[in-house]
Amino acid sequence: MSPGISPSVMACGLGAWHRFIVIHLSDKRDTFLTEAGSILGINATVIYNKHGGRIDNFGLIRDDDVLYLSEGEPFIDPQLVIAVSKEHATSNSVEYIDSREPESMLARMFGTEDPSWNSAMDRSGAYLIDRSPKYFEPIMNYLRHGQLIVDTNIGAAGVLEEAKFFGMTSLIEPLKQMVKERKTPGDYTPITRREFITMLQGCALNSELRCQGMNFEGADLAKLDLRFINFKMANLSHANLSGANMAFCSLERTNLSFAKLDQANLQGVKMVLANLEGASLKSCNFEDPAGSKANMEGELFSFFTLFYLLTIDICLQSLAY
């Protein structure tokens, strides 16, 4: 340090990297530590350079140097360090948060001097946040490089809740879409035509294929050979069964609302208490040369179409109009 020149330096306390101060360098090391520590609110005893080197020779400090002061704790990289439920995540700069999510809770916590937003810190200077580190990590990665990446072993729904909690508005819609795409199909996901044909191919012709309670909503089953299949209590709502051979099928309590059964073969079907509301049965064939009857006892026929039926022997007991 040249005589008569009082250089100025940038200094901050470890763990408070967004609170730099510019201060003139005093002639004596102890005086500088006292003055800078008083401004920063710490009992500064050790000086580090920006690379983490401890400065014991006060004469090595030059004008515009960046200094880090500590109360004796070891140097840690000048990064934003967040301890999320005791696991540490780091970001190179608070500016990343400000640029990507300026209105978020994180931006307010680390980019404002308002003491009401200050978070507790541990002895290493890491900010303490009581949240799940598993779900917080994808958010920190997004703040680093701007890409939302959620590993398959991490639930997107959990990350979505963290994004909502921290006010990361730009992540909410992409995470909602991710949750939807990753949702595992349940037992009630409608069966497709391809899936059902595979089932038919694996079933012997003279054996009964049991499809009780299965979901065929909106399925295209037109012109398929469905004879003798048990559809009891199945959901065939809005299904296309036009021209299908459904002879001797069990359709008891089956939901056929708004289904299309035009020109379907319904010889000998059992449709007790089935729901045919809004269904179309144009030119259906209920006739069986062997004399078998189609049982439609208790049928619900509200608003369905019955044009050009070739019905001969139909049991229409207790109809519900």
pLDDT above 50 (res 41): yes
Residue 9 burial class via C-beta count within 10 angstroms: exposed 0-12, middle 13-18, buried 19 and up = buried
pLDDT above 70 (res 22): yes
Report the pLDDT value the prediction gives residue 319, as an integer from 0 to 100.
39
**Residue among 288, 245, 252 at smallest CA distance from 271:** 252
Does residue 312 come out as left (phi exceeding 0), alpha (psi in the -120 to 50 range) or beta?
alpha
**Residue among 177, 89, 81 at smallest CA distance from 141:** 89
pLDDT above 70 (res 75): yes
Backbone angles phi, psi at 175, to 5 degrees: -70, -35
In order of their start, the domains of the chain are 8-70 (3.10.20.230), 80-182 (3.30.710.10), 186-321 (2.160.20.80)
Report the pLDDT value the prediction gives residue 318, as an integer from 0 to 100.
37
**Residue among 37, 140, 134, 120 at smallest CA distance from 79:** 140
The CA dihedral of 10, 13, 16, 17, to the nearest 10 degrees, is: 30
What residues are paired with 270 via a beta bridge?
250, 295
Mean pLDDT for the stretch of residues 10-25: 66
pLDDT above 70 (res 291): no
Q: Which amino acid is at 277?
A: E
More confident position, 236 or 105? 236
Give the CA angle between residues 144, 149, 151 to the nearest 5°.
130
pLDDT tens, residue by residue, 201-228: 877 766 678 898 899 999 999 999 998 8
By the 8 A CB rule, do 320 and 304 touch? no
pLDDT tens, residue by residue, 243-289: 999 998 999 999 999 999 999 999 889 988 999 988 998 888 877 65
By the 8 A CB rule, do 216 and 226 touch? no
- Model confidence at 236, in pLDDT bands (50, 70, 90)? very high
For the record, the structure tokens of 156 come out as 């997107």
Report the pLDDT value the prediction gives residue 311, as an integer from 0 to 100.
40
pLDDT above 80 (res 141): yes
For the record, the structure tokens of 201 come out as 């191919």
- As a whole number of angstroms, the distance between CA 48 and CA 256 comes to 78
pLDDT above 60 (res 83): no
- As a whole number of angstroms, the distance between CA 12 and CA 20 comes to 5
- As a whole number of angstroms, the distance between CA 285 and CA 262 comes to 9
Report the pLDDT value the prediction gives residue 307, as an integer from 0 to 100.
45
Length of the chain in residues, anyone? 321
Report the pLDDT value the prediction gives residue 159, as an integer from 0 to 100.
93
For the record, the structure tokens of 15 come out as 């763990």
